[in-house]
A and B are shown apart, each in its own frame.
Chain A
Amino acid sequence: MTTDKVLMKGNEAFAEAAIRGGARLYFGYPITPQSEVPEYMSRELPKVGGCFIQAESELGAINMAYGAGAAGGSVFISSSSPGIALMQEGMSFLCSAEVPLLAMNVSRGGPGIGGIQPGQADYYQVTRGGGNGDYHIPVFAPASIQEAVDLLYEGTELAQTWRNPIMVFTDGMVGQMMEPVKLPDYKPVLKPSEIAAARNWACTGYTDRGGDKERRVVKSLRMQPEKLEEHVEKLFEKYARAEKELARWESENLKGAEVVFVSFGTTARICREAIEILASRGVKAGLIRPISLWPFPNKAFDEIDFGTTKAVISAELSMGQMITDVQLALNGRLPVFLAHRTGGMVPTSPEVAARAQAVLEGLK
């Protein structure tokens, strides 16, 4: 028997997908539940001419990413919740300086050092950002290892296209589990001597620029408020385009549904099973699964069958964060409820199904 798939642990598949998608530089510091990513990178990146550096901390890692990205390198970094928190200042700088970066948060329970079991309580952190100032980071939340692989494979190019960090937001469960995956082919990568021409903003030095002596400046400091305002307005023209072009979602069973779950990542998979349980009890339930968390897929909510749907339930591994975006997207059209566990606890599908039935019962 033959198959074109391999059984891979999430974290190792993420790392391999980033390499195949063109990432050649990785800076990081180990943290559970994603330590297999730096481990894999330290072993595999040198084999493809890349470079792995174990940073002294996450602060070091994000600033190495800033520098290497400004010089035109294709950088991938990963960490887990408290480590991503340490990187927030850098994220703001990269956005302002328009430096590309592919980043991944394999999140765990918080706040603080919290625990090491899966969580989604970094929703605000990744969609609103903990850095200062006006900026956005496109965030994608895969629900399977294959989807994470596909997003990470696309991520390096996406970051270069948008000249902005791109975040893949997954959780410890997807990082630690194994599923069959189909790995895509290696994308061609630029030779170092080709970077100056291909990334015509990058600080590469004059060597490969064929006599072009124009200064290239990558910076986030703008002391004159007029200049800073003009710069931020320009960034937000880009973000407005991103809101149109990068919103992604999947919806299932919306037609005729009495209740609709909104859920991403691991939790969306639990909801899928809850939908089957509800169906066996004669309750029709649907699912909106945001794949992009910023931009939030507001349009998905127009697909709801407003003739039949009585309630929307935001199912999350947090005390309720995405629910804010769900309410904004619905704009009062339907009542919104929460189904959640937090701190590293994950609900079972019967728990989620029971919550939906209780919500419907309460509305009678």
Chain B
Amino acid sequence: METTRTVTSIAPASRALEVIGGDLTERSLRRYLEGIPGVDAVGLEARAAALGTRSIKTTSKAWALDKIIELTDLTTLEGSDTPGKVRSLVAKAMVPDPDDMTCPRVAAVCVYGDMVPHAVEALGSAHDDGASGRINVAAVATAFPSGRSSRSVKLSDTSDAVAAGADEIDMVIDRGAFLAGRYGQVFDEIVAVKEACRRADGSFAHLKVILETGELVTYDNVRRASWLAILAGGDFIKTSTGKVAPAATLPVTLSMLEVVRDWHRLTGEKIGVKPAGGIRASKDAIKYLVTVAETVGEGWLTPHLFRFGASSLLNDVLLQRQKLSSGHYSGAAYVTID
């Protein structure tokens, strides 16, 4: 018989309480996550490959290219980042193609936490949370990209970024704990970071939970981690940091979209998905749009529910836009060097 001493209570999160039940424990969480059916890996990859064969042409392509820009988190996450680099990133986010004023703005700029003030300052009146045409500031936090630091460091990393004006926090999960089966620890941490996203006025910065699927090894783990992140209160689930190969792949993103679809059916709540890292060509990005539309519906193709984490993708999309508008192929000399 189970004794109460072995039952360790974990931080409450309203979603988990509703779905798993009142006595939220490490044990009940584990039972729930391990009860999720496995992924048919061959079927998943075949489905993703089939979705990647759609031919998107002319007006649909023009729509898709603009949509990709609207859904992009323009990112710079280098140790060599400077305030100047962030300012030029912001300038590009606001006016991606100076020769074509019909070009939409990106959804957000994504920077390290200490660069948030510079991004906010550079955006000025273009900085806003939610309004269309305005640009959010996303900050990576919780000892990105490895996530190897103490809980208190991760939480202050998060609250610092929020206090500096970040609208979105991209946190990394503790992959070591997840792979060791300590789901409760991962869960607790997401709940705590979510709490750290609370602003002075009581509202929350959006929380994106990076699963780093390249380190989770199997599709079963990706599916389990997706459920875990959503149960713990994530607003978005994000594939990768971009620092580990493989980063975002189409099958992994498809499996995460399936979790989001199932969660929507279960609760009516919409969770966002962000593939990040390794998406460099417009052609690849269009495959993701098709996959989203076919899995969760076109309604998901808004900046609130789907994002691309990318840096070099934007230039390729701009080249394709120039090709469509001018009728001849463009070249790298006609976009900025980032």
Task: Answer yes or no: are A and B bound together in one complex.
Answer: no
Residues of chain A having any CB pair with chain B under 8 Å: none
Residues of chain B having any CB pair with chain A under 8 Å: none
